[in-house]
Homo-oligomer: A and B are copies of this chain.
Amino acid sequence: MSNLSPQQLLNALEWRYATKVFDPAKKIPADIWHALEQALVLTPTSYGMQPYQFLVVQDAAKRAALLPHSWNQKQVVDCSHFVVFTARTEMTEADVAKFIQRTSEVRDILLEKLNFNRDMILSDVVKGPRGKTAHEWAARQCYIALGNLMTSAAVLGVDACPMEGINPLEYDQVLGLNGSGFKTVVACALGYRAAADKYASLPKVRFETKDLVRVI
């Protein structure tokens, strides 16, 4: 496997920033977008349950409709690919059954050999502690995907802007999510920075390492 050197990784993470102005003419090439889409699919999640769906909004009219529900941040309409992270509103026995079924297929294991796994997951994410806050638990998994996507984009030289500054309820309405079993959590615009984006050259504001990392 070809890895990055530690310095190459840090260069990529220093290079990235929350892009404020995208160049609307620059689109992410198909092979690079494919890798980012697969990075989303490969995101690790709790129990591997993947309690989310990623909406890639490419329709210009839909993007325009989302703009006023995004504090009018132009990244929504100017970026190459706009991803809305949606999380399950609740977790049901059927969701667990679907995951166990998929495990059985992919790993070629008899379904009945997965009863223990199924019961363990059921007793937590449906009937147990995580079941009580299932949407929030699912939302947190979306944030793993968001972190993964932003770092994946950075190491491929693609710009990104994470967007919590959206109105999730209004997004749900525009995207027709009501009744779908999924709710909007957060979004991410991807593409290439415009030469005019003055934020690209501002020093990154982070607390000192000693304030963020404590070795014990």
Binding site for B on A (CB under 8 A): 1-4, 6-16, 18, 31-32, 34-35, 37-44, 46, 48, 50, 52-59, 62, 98-99, 102-103, 106-107, 136, 139-141, 143-152, 155-157, 162, 164, 175, 186, 202-207, 209, 211-216
Inter-subunit contact B204/A106 (CB<8 Å): yes
- Distance in angstroms between the alpha carbons of A98 and B151 in the assembled complex: 27
CB-defined A-B contacts under 8 Å, sample of 6: A4-B156, A52-B212, A58-B215, A59-B216, A107-B205, A151-B155
Contacts of A43 in B (CB 8 A): 147
Stoichiometry (number of copies): 2
B14 touches A54 (CB 8 A): no
Is there contact, CB below 8 Å, between A50 and B212? yes
Pairs of residues from A and B, 10 with the lowest C-beta to C-beta distance, nearest first: A147-B147, A6-B35, A143-B143, A144-B147, A147-B148, A151-B151, A3-B157, A13-B42, A56-B215, A46-B164
Is there an interface contact between B213 and A44, defined as CB atoms closer than 8 Å?
no
